[in-house]
Structure 1
Amino acid sequence: MRQPDVEIYVKEADRDAVTQWLTHALGPCTPWQPRGQTFKCSAGALAITWFPKAVGKWHSLYIEGEQIPWETDLACARSAHAALGMQIRCAPGGWQEQDSNENDRWLKIDKDGETEIIWKTD
C-alpha cells in the first residue's frame, strides 16, 4: 500500500548531491528555503523537507504528496542509496506517532545490502 509520505535518513550527505538525485527522480526542485532548523523545497506537487543533523550526523529527508514515485520508505531509501552511494536508514514499515518501542527498529541500506537494526534516535 502506498504511503502518503516517505522519510529517510542520510548520513553526512551533501544537500547538493541529494538535490541532484531528487531532480533526477522527481523533476526540477525549487531552491531550498530555510524554515527554522529545516529547509523546504518542492518538486512539482511534492513538498520536501530537509532537516540537517536531525539525529546526530544523520539528515532527515521527508517527502509528502500524492505523486510520490516510491510506495514505501524502503523503496525511496533504495533509490537514494543507488544514486548517492552512501548509507541510508528508514523505518521498516509505516510509522505512527503512537508507536512506542517499535520506533527503534530500522532498516540500514548500504554497500553490504539491507539489514534490520536497532537505532535509538532519542
Structure 2
Amino acid sequence: MQDLEIYIRDLESAAVSDWLANHLDEVELADDTLAGRAVKGKAWYRGHSVRVSLYPGAGGRRYTSVILEGEDLPWASDLDCARSAWRAMGTEIRCSAGDWKEGEPVEDERWWRLDQRGEQLAVWN
C-alpha cells in the first residue's frame, strides 16, 4: 500500500476535487466543503481503489492535509504529488522531505515548500 501526504495552504474545496479528477478515475468525496471537518472519499486509478482523506486545520489553521492511499497512485512520491498540486492550484504546497521518522525531534524537521518562489527545503514555522 502506497500513501502520499501533502499540505495545501488556503485550500478551496472545489480546487482539490478538480485536481484529483484530472489524475484519478471516479473521484467521490463525501462532501467537498471543508467547513472545518474531515472529508473522506474514494477514487480509482488503473483499476485500483484509492482512499482520499482531507483534514482541514492540519499543520496550522491555514493548511489542509490531503492523504491518498492505494496500491497504485499517479505519483511516486510526496514531492511529485506536491508538484502536481502546485501546478494545478497555484497555492503554497508543503510535503515531507522524506528524511523524518516518527519519534524523531521535530525542531529540525525539514519540509518541501512549493510556492511562487519555487521549491525550497524549509523548517515548517
Tell me whether the two structures share a fold, i.e. TM-score over 0.5: yes
Higher helix proportion = 1
Q: 1: CA distance between counterparts of 2:112 and 2:61? A: 17
Counterpart residue number, 2:42? 42
State the partner residue of 1:31: 29
Tell me the distance in 2 between the aligned counterparts of 1:31 and 1:25: 15
Q: How does 1:1-122 map to 2 (within 5 A)?
A: 4-33=2-31, 37-44=37-44, 45-54=49-58, 55-93=60-98, 96-101=101-106, 104-120=109-125
The structural deviation recorded for 1:33 is: 5.0
- SS for the counterpart of 2:111 is strand
Percent sequence identity is 36
Please, which runs of 5 or more residues in structure 2 have no aligned partner?
none
| Deviates most, 97-106 or 64-73 | 97-106
Q: Which runs of 5+ in 1 are unaligned?
A: none
Distance 1:14 1:85 in 2: 11
Q: Distance in 2 between matches of 1:103 and 1:66?
A: 31
Cα distance, 1:100 vs structure 2: 2.6
- Give the CA RMSD over aligned residues: 2.2
